[in-house]
Amino acid sequence: MKRIMTCIECPQGCRLEIETDGSRVAGVTGQKCPRGAKYARQEIESPMRTLTTSVLTRGLELKMLPVRTSRPIPKGSIFEAMEAVKRIVVTSPVKAGAVVAPNFLGLGADLVACRSIAKL
Ligand code: SF4
């Protein structure tokens, strides 16, 4: 089966033609550098995404604290991660970059604060 994808690793935006064998990549053409094939393989065989969202707070200056994962997590875990995020409530002031949930869901990525937040 053939799939078409745009490489987003750099502004060139190469149009990749990917030959797949089930869920595996059999071949890639159209890339101007080796990163294109690597990107296609990652996207098709084990896509990853950085989760960017917000968690609830209590007793702090804002009702929501923006957070993100410290590194991409498997795309297939995003729904479970969003459900887990709904259960988090931050009650103490944090600095930007502070870890809100270490090794979030055991995925090897921390959930970190995207901004500082103080008490009310
Ligand atoms: S294949 Fe290489 S040159 Fe083309 S968009 Fe990807 S990174 Fe850029």
- Pocket lining: 10 vs ligand 1, CB cutoff 6 Å: yes
Give the single-character DSSP code of 75.
G
Residues of the chain with pLDDT under 70: none
Residue 47 CA, ligand 1 centroid: distance in Å: 17
Among 3.10.530.10, 3.40.190.10, 3.60.15.10, 3.40.1350.10, name the CATH number for the domain at 52-113.
Answer: 3.10.530.10
Alpha helices (runs of H) in the chain, residue ranges in sequence order: 34-45, 78-86
Q: What is the reported pLDDT for 120? A: 87
With a 6 Å cutoff on the Cβ, whether 7 touches ligand 1 is: yes
- Res 22: pLDDT: 86
| Contact call for residues 18 and 51 (beta carbons, < 8 A) | no
pLDDT at residue 25, as a whole number = 96
Residue 53: per-residue pLDDT:
98
The predicted model scores a pTM of 0.84
117, two tokens: 């937040």
Strands (E), 9-80: 15-21, 24-29, 48-49, 52-57, 64-69, 73-74
The structure tokens 């890639």 sit at 28
Sorted by where each begins, the domain ranges of the chain are 2-46, 52-113
Our answer on whether the CB atom of 9 is closer than 6 Å to any ligand 1 atom is yes
Q: What is residue 76's predicted lDDT score, i.e. its pLDDT?
A: 96
